[in-house]
Amino acid sequence: MSDSASNKEDSIQIEIFPSRILSPETAQKLIGEIYKVDGVIRVMVQGNRLPDKVSAGPGTGEKVEHPLRKPIQIGDQVIELKICAGRIRIELSNAEAKEAIRELCEKLLPFPFEFREGHFFRKKPTVTDYAKLGPEADPRLLGMVDPKAKTNQLVFIEKQEKKDEDE
């Protein structure tokens, strides 16, 4: 497996753990701003799944109209929010990005949150990674696969290259 930015020992991993579930609007603002910070390698949003259909009981098979299940826009990509945005884990290449993200959280989150540094992303492939992604998987996707999902539902957003103003 190739050595990428996510496999370097000097990368910083942080977790933002708000005291409340983020609304789709707040999640879109926060993730959109995190997306713009230089030095962000990868971001993972974690939370409880929002079902699209009733799985048991009298309304089995009917569509669930959950107020938190809305599309959000990150960069140029629109993503349907399939989870309650609870935790945000971020891998960074430098300490300046960490402080920029802390300032963003203080500005955009009107309620308390935990901001901690630690080891949250895997560095080596797991059996699930191998089974779902194959032997030549992108190192940025390691540890981000849901072992219970029937299909791979990862959303991968590439950062847009900044265009020169002369063009």
Q: Concatenated DSSP letters for 65-131?
A: --TT--EEEETTEEEE--B-B-EEEEEESSHHHHHHHHHHHHHH-SS-EEEEEE--S-SS--HHHHH
Indicate the pLDDT class of residue 105, thresholds 50, 70 and 90.
very high
What's the whole-model pTM score?
A: 0.78
| Domains of the chain, first to last | 5-52+64-141 (3.30.70.920)
Indicate the pLDDT class of residue 9, thresholds 50, 70 and 90.
low
pLDDT in tens, 13-61: 999 999 999 999 999 999 999 989 999 988 888 888 888 888 888 888 8
Q: Are 83 and 47 in contact (CB under 8 A)?
A: yes
